[in-house]
């Protein structure tokens, strides 16, 4: 059950002003228009993805409440969805969220060692963020990249056939923020909506 | 056995663009059905083809389509299930990445057959780059007049939208997918009512897998009878098999149904044999939820007949000595694999992905994970194997959706075929406490 950990965390509403930019709002309206007029709630998952991207990489209570107002639904309808899906983060994450696959096919092709190496290199455990706020490490279930194992995803990009050397290269590039140069075998998109 | 239907043009440069796809005969099926065939004709053609759902269940597609409630006054919907998350399965991703127009063409033909004017592609949240590819392809299709209002001047209207998931295996189950598409948690619905009468927004809905929809265009072009003549018996046509694990050439292969499993694993044309010259220990042939089989039983049935890649041959022997074709997610394990560790790993997956709605699955998957973990780490107890079999049998068949079965089968089959490994773990904690102990065969 994704999200069961949250039982023990207190989430507070800070009453911060949250608002999409005009451009984003236009994009959101276009997404809502894909569904029948009385079914605005259908846009919840895509709009939460956008909100997460726009407001610092995670969904605060203020952001979730704002999304509820936009879609004309109850706050709880957003909370129950945001806590169900593993790609919605309820706490602040690093600039780059590294999601490394831990499931069977990756595990038998060296995935466990890749995960251990990442923890050692970044000096953090599963679910933690580096002190400079750059990287969050998460072990996730199957990414659907089994034939290109071991695999990980960083934000919207897939990195496959991972080796220790390749991880060094990728993390170096991201640290220097020159990630216009992609390591071989990565797949990405800049705009997914 | 070399027949390529879906991947015929995969190597053509630029095949992911509308123009190149069109130049290879793409969208001819759309023009043909809109101008020459009635919707009933299209359904009849798919029925004739014998096409079976490629997502895992293998239900006849034409029959599924014929269940849609035509008398309903509500709009009808087609939803493409692109929530591919079954461990070992990556064929839909491959199709969408390289041949997005093959899927769109199939969706237009299918929508016409079903009387649908709005269709959605539900793509798993992790595949954001695929969403980008699909949206680009859809824009091309719209601008070329094959989508939107009055398609090709025939008066038929169709919109296709891409909808992102957000990381939940359960949304691959069709009713959970519909809940998710309505902006809710992915909790499967009780059936009946089936989606064909009450699906998305309580309207008649058909949910089909990516590969199923992608092959609809080629079937229309070649004719249902011709397609039915390809393959073997009730397993007609070709199937994409995504092969992974300890093999030399992991990847996605289109095979004609009926190919011997042995040839698939060892031929250079397909998996290319086991990597590092090792021996094969076991195979899960249809995605992680189907029963695992030891090497001898995957190559030949208990009666000694060579096993073929068909729905029927793989399930020969039932769950005692057989398995299932499932989604075609083919995971190969070499001689170094620890079956206990692998079973624990997969059970952790199902525990994580259980939606929590039904107690047998919510609690049972967690119990199985815990017991398997203690066996794997040298804390197992002598009755643990019986305990696992008992938990698995109490989950199976007692849940709203098939995730419960999917979690129970790998555990039950691993103990059925590799009980000695579990017993060895319990008897030799000093050995299995060594991290990376791998296969226990070398210690016996």
CATH number at residue B293: 3.10.20.600
Do A56 and A8 belong to one domain? Answer: yes
Do B256 and B212 belong to one domain? Answer: no
Identify the domain boundary among B229, B253, B279: B229
Chain A: residue nearest B75 by CA?
Answer: A36
Sort out which chain B residues have CB atoms less than 8 A from A189's CB and list them. 128-129, 131-133
Residue A91 lies in a domain: no
Do B25 and B143 belong to one domain? Answer: yes
The token pair at B231 is: 């393959």
Residue A65 lies in a domain: yes
Portion 342-381 of B in contact with A at CB < 8 A: 342, 345-346, 349, 352-356, 362
Cα distance from B334 to chain A (closest Cα, Å)?
9
Do A76 and A27 belong to one domain? Answer: yes
Cα distance from A12 to chain B (closest Cα, Å)?
22
Do A105 and A162 belong to one domain? Answer: yes
- What CATH number has the domain bearing residue A178? 3.40.30.10
Residue A39 pLDDT exceeds 80: yes
Do B291 and B351 belong to one domain? Answer: no
- What is the extent of the structural domain holding A132? 96-187
Do B203 and B285 belong to one domain? Answer: no
Region A114-140: mean pLDDT is 96
Do A50 and A125 belong to one domain? Answer: no
The whole-angstrom separation of Cα B88 and Cα B241 is 10
Share of chain B above pLDDT 90, in %: 95
pLDDT digits (tens, 9 = 90+) for A139-193: 999 999 999 999 999 988 889 999 999 999 889 888 887 555 555 545 544 344 4
Residue B110 lies in a domain: yes
Cβ contacts below 8 Å, chain A against chain B, sum to 166
Query: What is the predicted pLDDT for the residue at B332?
Result: 98
Residue A176 lies in a domain: yes
Residue B5 lies in a domain: no
Portion 124-163 of A in contact with B at CB < 8 A: 140-149, 153, 156-158
Do B160 and B287 belong to one domain? Answer: no
Cα distance from B136 to chain A (closest Cα, Å)?
9
Do B159 and B192 belong to one domain? Answer: yes
Do B313 and B403 belong to one domain? Answer: no
Residue B8 lies in a domain: no
**Residue carrying structure tokens 């989604």:** B327
Residue A90 lies in a domain: no
Asked if A115 reaches chain B (Cβ–Cβ under 8 Å), the answer is no
Identify the domain boundary among A82, A110, A143: A82
Asked if B126 reaches chain A (Cβ–Cβ under 8 Å), the answer is yes
Q: What is the side-by-side strand order in the sheet with B329-334?
A: B251-256, B238-245, B329-334, B280-284, B293-294
Residue A150 lies in a domain: yes
Identify the domain boundary among A82, A108, A131: A82
- What is the extent of the structural domain holding B380? 339-443
Do A76 and A101 belong to one domain? Answer: no
Do B154 and B207 belong to one domain? Answer: yes
Cα distance from B133 to chain A (closest Cα, Å)?
8
What is the number of structural domains in chain B?
3
- What CATH number has the domain bearing residue B216? 3.40.50.11540
Residues A151-173 as b/e (b if ≥16 CB within 10 A, e otherwise) read bbbbbbbbbbbbeeebbeebbee
Residue A27 lies in a domain: yes
Residue A192 lies in a domain: no
Cα distance from B63 to chain A (closest Cα, Å)?
28
Q: Which helix (H) or strand (E) holds B235?
A: strand B235-236
Do A76 and A110 belong to one domain? Answer: no
Asked if A119 reaches chain B (Cβ–Cβ under 8 Å), the answer is no
Sort out which chain B residues have CB atoms less than 8 A from A148's CB and list them. 90, 250
Residue A1 pLDDT exceeds 50: no
Do B78 and B126 belong to one domain? Answer: yes
Do A8 and A75 belong to one domain? Answer: yes
Identify the domain boundary among B314, B334, B354: B334
Do B209 and B194 belong to one domain? Answer: yes
Query: What is the predicted pLDDT for the residue at B75?
Result: 97
Asked if A102 reaches chain B (Cβ–Cβ under 8 Å), the answer is yes
Query: What is the predicted pLDDT for the residue at A9?
Result: 58
Contact B330, B292 (CB under 8 A): no
Secondary structure (DSSP) of chain A: -TTGGGGGS------------HHHHHHHHHHHTTS-GGGGGGGHHHHHHHHHHHTTTS--HHHHHHHHHHHT--HHHHHHHHTTSTT--SS---SEEEEEE-SHHHIIIIIHHHHHHHHHHHT--TT-B-TTS-EEEEEES--S-GGG-S-EEETTEEE-S--HHHHHHHHHHHHTT-TTSPPTTEE--S---
Query: What is the predicted pLDDT for the residue at B77?
Result: 98
Do B406 and B320 belong to one domain? Answer: no
With CB atoms and an 8 Å threshold, state whether A142 touches B85.
yes
Do A178 and A103 belong to one domain? Answer: yes
Do A129 and A159 belong to one domain? Answer: yes
Portion 169-188 of A in contact with B at CB < 8 A: 187-188
Interface test with B, best of A37, A49, A84, A186 (most B CBs within 10 A): A84
Cα distance from B94 to chain A (closest Cα, Å)?
10
Do B177 and B287 belong to one domain? Answer: no
Band (pLDDT 50/70/90 cuts) for residue A4 is: very low
Residue A75 lies in a domain: yes
Interface test with B, best of A146, A148, A149, A160 (most B CBs within 10 A): A146
ipTM of the complex: 0.94
Query: What is the predicted pLDDT for the residue at A193?
Result: 41
Residue B2 lies in a domain: no
Angle CA A148–A150–A151, to nearest 5: 80
Segments of chain B with pLDDT less than 50: none
Do A182 and A102 belong to one domain? Answer: yes
Which member of A42, A43, A104 has the closest CB to residue B331? Answer: A104
Residue A8 pLDDT exceeds 80: no
pLDDT digits (tens, 9 = 90+) for A51-95: 999 999 999 999 999 999 999 999 999 999 999 999 999 999 999
Do A102 and A181 belong to one domain? Answer: yes
Do A32 and A9 belong to one domain? Answer: yes
What is the number of structural domains in chain A?
2
Residue B146 lies in a domain: yes
């Amino acid at each position: 059950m994704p999200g069961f950990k949250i039982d023990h965390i207190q989430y507070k509403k800070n009453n911060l002003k949250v608002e999409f930019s005009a451009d984003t709002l236009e994009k959101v309206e276009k997404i809502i228009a894909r569904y029948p007029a009385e079914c605005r709630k259908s846009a919840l998952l895509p709009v939460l993805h956008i909100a997460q991207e726009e407001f610092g990489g995670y969904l605060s209570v203020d952001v979730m409440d704002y999304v509820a107002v936009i879609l004309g639904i109850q706050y709880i309808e957003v909370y129950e969805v945001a806590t169900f899906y593993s790609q919605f983060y309820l706490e602040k994450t690093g600039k780059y969220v590294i999601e490394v696959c831990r499931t069977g096919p990756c595990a038998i092709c060296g995935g466990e060692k890749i995960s251990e190496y990442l923890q050692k290199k970044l000096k953090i455990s599963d679910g933690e963020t580096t002190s400079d706020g750059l990287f969050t490490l998460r072990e996730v279930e199957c990414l659907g990249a089994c034939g290109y194992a071991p695999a990980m995803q960083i934000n919207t990009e897939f990195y496959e056939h991972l080796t220790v050397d390749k991880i060094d290269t990728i993390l170096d590039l991201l640290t220097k923020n020159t990630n216009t140069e992609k390591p071989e075998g990565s797949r990405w998109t800049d705009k997914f909506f | 056995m070399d027949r390529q239907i879906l991947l015929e043009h995969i190597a053509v440069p630029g095949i992911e663009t509308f123009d190149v796809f069109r130049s290879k005969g793409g969208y001819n099926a759309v023009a043909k059905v809109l101008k020459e065939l009635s919707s009933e004709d299209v359904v009849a053609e798919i029925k004739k083809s014998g096409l079976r759902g490629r997502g895992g269940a293998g239900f006849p597609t034409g029959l599924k389509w014929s269940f849609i409630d035509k008398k309903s006054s509500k709009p009808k919907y087609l939803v493409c299930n692109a929530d591919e998350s079954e461990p070992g399965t990556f064929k839909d991703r491959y199709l969408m990445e390289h041949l997005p127009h093959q899927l769109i063409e199939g969706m237009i033909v299918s929508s016409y057959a079903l009387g649908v004017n709005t269709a959605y592609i539900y793509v798993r949240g992790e595949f954001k780059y695929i969403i980008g590819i699909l949206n680009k392809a859809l824009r091309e299709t719209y601008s070329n007049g094959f989508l939107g209002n009055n398609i090709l001047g025939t008066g038929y209207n169709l919109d296709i939208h891409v909808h992102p998931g957000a990381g939940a295996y359960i949304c691959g189950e069709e009713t959970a997918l519909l809940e998710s598409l309505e902006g809710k948690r992915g909790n499967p619905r009780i059936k009946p009512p089936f989606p064909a009468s009450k699906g998305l927004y309580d309207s008649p809905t058909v949910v089909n897998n990516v590969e199923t929809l992608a092959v609809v265009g080629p079937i229309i072009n070649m004719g249902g009878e011709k397609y039915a003549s390809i393959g073997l018996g009730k397993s007609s046509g070709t199937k994409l098999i995504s092969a992974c694990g300890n093999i030399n050439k992991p990847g996605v292969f289109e095979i004609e149904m009926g190919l011997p499993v042995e040839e698939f694993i060892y031929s250079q044309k397909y998996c290319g044999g086991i990597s590092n010259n090792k021996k094969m220990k076991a195979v899960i042939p249809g995605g992680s939820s189907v029963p695992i089989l030891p090497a001898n039983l995957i190559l030949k049935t208990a009666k000694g007949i060579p096993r073929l890649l068909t729905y029927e041959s793989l399930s020969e022997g039932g769950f005692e000595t057989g398995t299932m074709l499932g989604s075609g997610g083919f995971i190969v394990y070499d001689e170094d694999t620890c079956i206990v560790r692998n079973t624990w790993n997969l059970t952790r997956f199902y525990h994580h992905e259980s939606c929590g709605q039904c107690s047998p699955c919510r609690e049972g998957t967690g119990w199985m994970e815990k017991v398997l973990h203690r066996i794997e780490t040298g804390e197992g107890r002598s009755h643990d194997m019986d305990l696992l079999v008992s938990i698995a049998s109490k989950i199976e068949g007692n849940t709203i959706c098939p995730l419960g079965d999917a979690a129970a089968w790998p555990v039950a089959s691993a103990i059925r075929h590799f009980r000695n490994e579990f017993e060895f773990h319990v008897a030799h904690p000093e050995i299995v406490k060594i991290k990376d102990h791998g296969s226990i065969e070398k210690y016996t």
